[in-house]
Amino acid sequence: MKNQPRYTIIRGEFHIFYPDLPRSGPQPDGDTVTFRPHKHSLVEGLKRFSGRAPKFNARGMIPVRFEGIDALETHFQEMRQNLKWAKAARDKLLSRLGFGAVTFWPDHSNNVQTVEHNPVEGFLFANGIESNGRLLGLVYPGQPPAADGKRFRVESEHLRKSANFGQVADGLAYAELYDTMPLALQNALRHGLDTARTAGHGFWPHESVSTTKSATIETLVQLEELVMWPKLFRRLAAYFAAGHAGLGAFDDWIRADKTDRDDSLRLPDGEAGNIHDIYDVQGDSLKLNYDSWKLTIAPDR
C-alpha cells in the first residue's frame, strides 16, 4: 500500500503590488512571491515542519517559499548577490507566473512601481509551513488538476511543469533540497540542474565558488559580486555584517551556532554532516568540498 499523498492543492492569487501602497508591499525575487489563498483554513491545516505557524499579513497574504530551489538574493538584510543574475531570476519568475510587464522604483529597486497584471490566479502543491512561517510548495499559474484542498501525489512530470523546476532548468536557481521533499522529486530537480549546468544555461558559466573554483573573499563588497550557492552566501553575509574582516574566523563562527548557521545535512555519500563540512577555507580563499545540489538538508529545529 502506497503512502498517503504528501501535497495539498491550494488555489489563490499571487500578488507583487499593493495599489494603495505603491512604494511598499511585496518584494518579489527569484524564489519568493506573495500568495492569498482562497481558503485560509487549508494553509492553517498544513504540516509545520519547525513548529512555526503560517505567517499571514493583515491582508490575508503569506509569502511562498519555492520548494527545492534557491535563487541568488536581490536583497538579504540590506545585502545582495550578483545583481545581474539575481534580477534575471526575479524577472523570469514574474514573467513565468503571468504578471506581464513589470517595472521597479529607481530609488526602491525591490518594490514594484508598475505591473501589467496583478494579482494573477494560480495554485500550489503545498508541502507545509517552513521555519520562517512561509508556505512551502511547488508553484503554478493557472488552474490546478483537481479541487482546492485535495491531497495530491506529485510525480516528476508534475514537478517539471512547476515554476520551481523552470527556474532551475533555465540556470537561474540552485537546488536547495530538504529531506521534507520526496526523494524522487529531489532527484528530478538534481537531474534538471545537471542538464542546465552541462548546457551552460544562465549563471552556470559564471559561477564563482564551486568544487573546482575558489574565490578570495575579504570583504562584503567582494562577496556581493559573486555567483555562489545562496545558502552559503547568507552565512557569509551575516558573518561580515557582524564586523568580521577576512575569512580567518569564519569556520569558528559557523560552528558556534548549530541552529541558525551550522545546519544539519546529509552529505552525498549518505553520511551525516553540517554546513562546516561543505567548504574549505585557506586564508581568505573559499572553495566547496561538495556540490551543493548533492546535499540533503534537515529543516531548522
Which of 199, 229, 258 delimits the end of a domain?
Answer: 199
- pLDDT-based confidence at residue 299 (cuts at 50, 70, 90): confident
- Give the mean pLDDT of 52-76: 97
Q: Are residues 20 and 37 in the same domain?
A: yes
Residue 148 lies in a domain: yes
Range with the poorest average pLDDT among 22-26, 64-68, 122-126: 22-26
Q: Is the per-residue pLDDT at 185 higher than 60?
A: yes
Interval 74-120: pLDDT, tens: 999 989 999 999 999 999 999 999 999 999 999 999 999 999 999 99
Residue 274 lies in a domain: yes
Q: Are residues 250 and 165 in the same domain?
A: no
Number of domains in the chain: 2
Residue 262 CB partners (closer than 8 Å, separation 6+): 254, 255, 256, 274, 275, 276
Q: Are residues 270 and 164 in the same domain?
A: no
Interval 190-212: pLDDT, tens: 999 999 999 999 999 999 999 99
The pLDDT, as a whole number, for residue 300 is: 74
- Give the mean pLDDT of 111-136: 97
Which of 147, 176, 199 delimits the end of a domain?
Answer: 199
Q: Are residues 106 and 76 in the same domain?
A: yes
Residue of 76, 280, 91 whose CA lies nearest to 170: 91
Q: Are 11 and 123 in contact (CB under 8 A)?
A: yes
The pLDDT, as a whole number, for residue 301 is: 67
Q: Are residues 152 and 253 in the same domain?
A: no
- pLDDT-based confidence at residue 2 (cuts at 50, 70, 90): low
Q: Are residues 189 and 216 in the same domain?
A: no
The pLDDT, as a whole number, for residue 259 is: 87
Range of the domain at 227: 207-297
Mean pLDDT of the chain: 96
Residue of 164, 203, 201, 173 whose CA lies nearest to 84: 203
Q: Is the per-residue pLDDT at 1 higher than 60?
A: no
Q: Are residues 30 and 154 in the same domain?
A: yes
Long-range contacts of 79-82 (CB under 8 A, 24+ apart): 79/220, 79/223, 79/224, 79/237, 79/241, 80/224, 81/224, 81/226, 81/227, 81/228, 81/230, 81/233, 82/203, 82/206, 82/208, 82/224, 82/225, 82/226, 82/227
The pLDDT, as a whole number, for residue 52 is: 94
Q: Are residues 55 and 178 in the same domain?
A: yes
Q: Are residues 114 and 260 in the same domain?
A: no
Q: Are residues 64 and 37 in the same domain?
A: yes
- CA 52 and chain centroid, separation: 18
Q: Are residues 243 and 122 in the same domain?
A: no
Whichever domain contains 139, its CATH number is 2.40.50.90
Residue 256 lies in a domain: yes
Which of 152, 177, 199 delimits the end of a domain?
Answer: 199
Residue 214 lies in a domain: yes
Q: Are residues 147 and 59 in the same domain?
A: yes
Q: Is the per-residue pLDDT at 150 higher than 80?
A: yes
Q: Name the percent of the chain lying above pLDDT 90.
A: 96
Residue 1 lies in a domain: no
Interval 277-287: pLDDT, tens: 999 999 999 99
Distance separating alpha carbons of residues 66 and 28, to the nearest angstrom: 12
- Give the mean pLDDT of 59-85: 97
Residue 2 lies in a domain: no
Residue 226 lies in a domain: yes
Residue 80 lies in a domain: yes
- CA 171 and chain centroid, separation: 14
